[in-house]
Amino acid sequence: MILAAPAKDPVRAKLRRELRARRAAQPRTARRAAALLICSYVAHAGWFRRGLNVGLYLSRDSEVDTAPLLALARQRACHVYLPRITDYVRHRMLLVRDSGARRVLNRYRIAEPRGGARLAAAAFAVILMPLVGFDAAGNRLGNGAGYYDRFVASRSGRYGRPLLIGIAFECQRLDALPAAVHDVPLDAVITEKGLHYFKRRA
């Protein structure tokens, strides 16, 4: 499936501004405590096991700190992969094997691994994804460029790998999100309040 660049939606753009403001308004101590709680929930979920391919990301700004998750994945001998943007015009990325070294900042000032192996989405057991907002149906509001939706597009509306897990604070939850046609729904979201599973769509 080839996805066109997402059109600018003023409703979703307004939601992103509001949700980012909510996230940024949380005290630093609360964000730190939430990150540790989220890591503990992931640890108990059993998704990180020796030899499994795990997709992660390096948090930025007021996002949930993913450093504890990265440390947990390495402690459990997972194969860790991080995003690398390959096309800024068509908004495409890959997940690339990360050794913790040889990272280079991209144009968004996000560190990316260099020189590692790359895998298709179906080769991952689980991919933990950043988000700006989510709702009770598992709809995910991303940062607006559609990088993740393109990478996992083959999973849209289907059962199977990978498991798609959003990482967020509870303040990023909405009752309902206006889903776009290209959006790939999540299987679950983890916040400081716990693990929220969603019913997969046929």
Q: What residue ranges do the domains of the chain occupy? A: 10-133+144-197
What's the pLDDT tens digit per position in 140-186?
Answer: 999 888 999 999 988 765 667 899 999 999 999 999 988 777 778 89
Q: Give mean pLDDT, residues 45-59.
A: 96
* pLDDT value for 113: 92
8 A C-beta contact, residue 58 and residue 68? no
Cβ-contact 118, 97 below 8 angstroms? yes
Burial (CB < 10 A; 0-12, 13-18, 19+), residue 185, is buried
Six-digit token string for 16: 């992103």
Asked whether the predicted pLDDT for residue 67 surpasses 90, the reply is yes
pLDDT tens across 79-111, in order? 999 999 999 999 999 999 998 788 999 998 999
**pLDDT value of residue 198:** 87
pTM of the model: 0.90
Q: Which residues contact 30 (CB under 8 A, 6 or more apart)?
A: none
pLDDT of residue 52: 97
pLDDT the model gives residue 7: 53
In this prediction, residue 201 carries a pLDDT of 52
Burial of 161 (0-12, 13-18, 19+ CB in 10 A): middle
Per-residue pLDDT band for 53 (boundaries 50, 70, 90) equals very high
Tell me if 86 sits within 8 A of 74, measured CB to CB.
no
What is residue 47's predicted lDDT score, i.e. its pLDDT? 93
Q: What is the pLDDT of residue 158?
A: 62
% the chain with pLDDT above 70: 92
CATH architecture of 10-133+144-197: 3-Layer(aba) Sandwich (3.40)
| Angle at the Cα of 134 from the Cα atoms of 128 and 137, rounded to 5 degrees | 100
Average pLDDT for the chain: 90
Please determine, for residue 2, whether its predicted confidence score (pLDDT) is greater than 60: no
